[in-house]
Structure 1
């Protein structure tokens, strides 16, 4: 399948596209000097920027892509899956909340995020002095600030406070201590606000530029940052501006949102660009990570019966979950979810690729499916939530019903707390198995236990469901969530290896 050359994330990226600058773009966060003769022309500046995008899905694909599933497995939406003894034990420990500072996935996420921040800092520091046009300088720096904000967004929602590094560090730099979460949020806001004015709208991008940061993407992440901080008025105002811009819509049917034939669709605000390359086995790993082992996949991150039953007869259920025996395509008229090697007889359909769209060589496991990180339906539901909190229920209803209308559902007309519950309900339905659930639940306040994050009451109900109420033959009796501690597990531990390297400058999160 041919597509125009965008900023594809290739396995060969640092070896070829960045030949000539790999000496510093492929380096760890600390201890490197910027090459004095780099950033000498437009091509080198753009290559350095592309290196920042590459960190979203880097060379070690099987490592970084796994963490995009944490928002599902650390919630009531999914299990670790793949119950083969010992296979990715640390990934399973995340799902069970048996988390230690030595967990390899925690270490990987921390390391890759700071690698991305290091690269963005190089661009932000050096491009302003490059001999290129002022207009191009401004856009490159704006894109780098957007990506730096994205990196700190990932850090603050996973760890809370973390080192705030705004310049490339050298080997003799002081050991870095943790800035507070509020300081990270302030920097995220600053970077995004400074980026917005110098980024193009999506509609102004050429085909070769699709996938690069846009004004709408920066505004959307800023709105989400406001939501996380409960700055409801600011979030509602900014989300309303994005809606009014007309840059995004829900015209694509739900069935095409995750289609490999619909990259950067009209509802996509920001997504990681992927291109399969059979020589270097480059592309997305998510389809093979989540596909059934009977279908050549690894069987991880399997939807729960709790999610399945919650979705009921909603038309999005069959476009989100594949169940044992389901018709999927001509090659799979009765899908086999490999029940004996999974915690659930279900598979995530959103990352599923039909046989014709998969690599022709069986030993190649990557795919060309882009990974959508932020879409318009998410923005509409954030707007609905923010509007509710400032007392504008009419605006909240308009946004939540726009999402429901796309899939042919009747509008809701609830008020008060029932409307907030309808918004929460719609977020789970619309965004299921896209990595949002855990992060939504820990930022939302509880309904039955308002003094705690909503994650507490949800995980308690999930444990009770699996142990006492479920009749599902696959996950009945699974005690996942029983170890959840609201005083510990709304944040992950700082990797012990990083604390050791910092010689104690980094402190650990409570409970670890």
Structure 2
């Protein structure tokens, strides 16, 4: 989607309760709810900034910077580390003043309220119900998308999803935390109804679709270990026309818009605040681009050698992790030889139009390979023993990673997995090799009860059960005395 950002949302009289921080709107024009929500164009203009919440000037919660879902779901896993001074964050020393643990909360909790505000204003708009329903379905999908990630990162939170609190906020509104069951029920209902209302394909790339709603619902089912529902949902997603790309690298190329493997992505353009900051985060400053880009590089991310070495020989997915690179003096730098902590995560392909920081590769949120692997996992969990369908799903995903796959020793057979435990462990490995550095690993490891142990092995020195959730920001608890922190963070 080429975002037509007018930032008009902030002119519509939106007010936010104190429990969401200092978010008083600035008035830039004379537009108000009384004269704005009147036409179809008004609805489009009002909806666009909610999509912008995904990107937020390129530094947003669904991109790759501090506080993003990517960072929150990669920290202290075996497939990602960072060379910056994030010691407390990477050691899981998430004391209640640890700013790195708050970023996503501070960006996305207000976004839920903004979405609710726009939904309620659209309901009152004097345009055709069918047109209103289209925009409302997209907004409800985004709102549930935000709510699901808040839940999986911070646990159940009070979110504003009703007209009264969104349109007529009160300083007396200080809700306690809801139950997990109520939040999951809300998310499930919203995403299911949105999926039924949304088209399988949108004319404008980057808008919510049936597949996007179902993929997020699947992630919630996997997190909650609702295996039967996950099996049903993956079967439904598999009817929507998605396909695996023949080339693994092509999924992430600069020309990846509308490739059939992508279910949902944040569209990017190679210009300031509209692009993807992947390369600036991942590359050293002396890296010589193969396409002539003069990168502004911050030398942050690395893929640890233990993970790099875990790939099978000949696995092409490993080729996107660089052990060596050419510097600007034409010299070959061997990162392992010089004692660096890992390889370069060149998962996304270079963009010749990148002005130095901002790449035009669309940033992927969900893709079809993830769905197939989720199906294999869910089927295994509901079965007494592995079946051929599960193995076929793994082979379907693995096939493009190896030459002559069907006749190679990389081809998997049912006889290799005599128990569901054996296949469960293999699926977790397959997910890491296929989905490395895609912001899903923490959730995968938590689901398999392995996150804390993997964090210890990754070098985190303050690991405890409390790290299965992030802490609630201090300011939120001060402003709302009914909001209790997650277990272990009250001390």
TM-score with structure 1 setting the length? 0.81
| Residue 373 (structure 1) aligned to one of 365, 371, 388 | 365
Instruction: Give 1:481's aligned residue.
Output: 460
Structure 1 residues 85-484: aligned runs within 5 Å: 89=85, 91-167=86-162, 168=166, 170-202=169-201, 205-206=202-203, 209-245=204-240, 247-277=241-271, 280-295=272-287, 296-325=296-325, 334=332, 344-351=341-348, 353=350, 356-359=352-355, 362=356, 365-391=357-383, 393-408=387-402, 409=405, 410-413=411-414, 414-416=417-419, 417-444=421-448, 453-460=449-456, 462-463=457-458, 480-484=459-463
Q: CA deviation at 1:126?
A: 1.8
Secondary structure of the corresponding residue to residue 488 of structure 1: helix
Secondary structure of the corresponding residue to residue 122 of structure 2: helix
Secondary structure of the corresponding residue to residue 467 of structure 2: coil
Secondary structure of the corresponding residue to residue 65 of structure 1: coil
Instruction: Give 1:468's aligned residue.
Output: none
Distance 1:38 1:415, change over 3 A: farther
Distance 1:351 1:496, change over 3 A: farther
Distance 1:232 1:336, change over 3 A: same
| Residue 78 (structure 1) aligned to one of 77, 80, 83 | 80
Instruction: Give 2:41's aligned residue.
Output: 43
Distance 1:338 1:58, change over 3 A: farther
How far apart, CA to CA, are the structure 1 residues paired with 2:329 and 2:146?
Answer: 40
Instruction: Give 1:474's aligned residue.
Output: none
On the 8 A contact 2:58/2:277 being kept in 1, the answer is no
Tell me the alpha carbon deviations over residues 108-129 of structure 1, each in whole angstroms, 9 at most, x when there is no partner: 2111111221121022212122
How far apart, CA to CA, are the structure 2 residues paired with 1:399 and 1:371?
Answer: 25
What stretches of structure 1 of length at least 5 have no aligned partner?
1-5, 83-88, 445-452, 464-479
Q: CA deviation at 1:281?
A: 4.6
Q: CA deviation at 1:424?
A: 1.1
How far apart, CA to CA, are the structure 1 residues paired with 2:330 and 2:209?
Answer: 39
On the 8 A contact 2:79/2:437 being kept in 1, the answer is yes
How far apart, CA to CA, are the structure 1 residues paired with 2:391 and 2:128?
Answer: 46
How far apart, CA to CA, are the structure 1 residues paired with 2:237 and 2:155?
Answer: 28
Distance 1:258 1:106, change over 3 A: same
Q: CA deviation at 1:434?
A: 1.1
On the 8 A contact 2:113/2:159 being kept in 1, the answer is no
How far apart, CA to CA, are the structure 2 residues paired with 1:104 and 1:426?
Answer: 33
On the 8 A contact 1:223/1:238 being kept in 2, the answer is yes
Secondary structure of the corresponding residue to residue 158 of structure 2: coil
Pairing 1:505–2:482 present: yes
Larger mean Cα displacement after TM superposition, 391-400 or 219-228: 391-400
How far apart, CA to CA, are the structure 1 residues paired with 2:452 and 2:308?
Answer: 21
On the 8 A contact 2:242/2:260 being kept in 1, the answer is yes
Distance 1:345 1:357, change over 3 A: farther
How far apart, CA to CA, are the structure 1 residues paired with 2:462 and 2:55?
Answer: 31
How far apart, CA to CA, are the structure 2 residues paired with 1:368 and 1:297?
Answer: 16
Secondary structure of the corresponding residue to residue 99 of structure 1: coil
On the 8 A contact 1:292/1:336 being kept in 2, the answer is no
How far apart, CA to CA, are the structure 2 residues paired with 1:271 and 1:160?
Answer: 25
TM-score with structure 2 setting the length? 0.84
What is the root-mean-square deviation of aligned Cα atoms in Å? 2.7
Tell me the alpha carbon deviations over residues 207-255 of structure 1, each in whole angstroms, 9 at most, x when there is no partner: xx1111111111121122111111111110110111133x101134101
On the 8 A contact 1:40/1:131 being kept in 2, the answer is yes
How far apart, CA to CA, are the structure 2 residues paired with 1:331 and 1:268?
Answer: 38
How far apart, CA to CA, are the structure 2 residues paired with 1:282 and 1:28?
Answer: 27
On the 8 A contact 2:138/2:207 being kept in 1, the answer is yes
How far apart, CA to CA, are the structure 2 residues paired with 1:50 and 1:111?
Answer: 20
On the 8 A contact 1:404/1:411 being kept in 2, the answer is no
Distance 1:325 1:312, change over 3 A: farther
Pairing 1:52–2:50 present: yes
How far apart, CA to CA, are the structure 2 residues paired with 1:434 and 1:287?
Answer: 14
Secondary structure of the corresponding residue to residue 239 of structure 2: helix
Distance 1:438 1:178, change over 3 A: same
Tell me the alpha carbon deviations over residues 409-459 of structure 1, each in whole angstroms, 9 at most, x when there is no partner: 423422422222221111010001111111110122xxxxxxxx2223333
